[in-house]
Structure 1
Amino acid sequence: MQQAMDGMGLFLDEAARTYEETEESLRTAAGR
């Protein structure tokens, strides 16, 4: 069970990072 929790945590961290990068690039594109 703990392993599944760790895996989900890593997945959420990766998803959050990807979302932030996407949001940043979208904001940059909109600013042009």
Structure 2
Amino acid sequence: GQFFGQNPPARYCIKAELVRPEFLVEISSIAHLS
């Protein structure tokens, strides 16, 4: 790819109800330490 070369980051997509209805956005992240 243009930005990540031969090893693009993993990605996923899920659909679920919000943990708390007053939260408008939920964010998850994955870190890679080398």
Whether TM-score is above 0.5 comes out as no
Tell me which of the two structures has the higher relative contact order, counting C-alpha pairs closer than 8 angstroms and 6 or more residues apart: 2
Q: Which has the higher helix share?
A: 1
TM-score (normalised: structure 1): 0.21
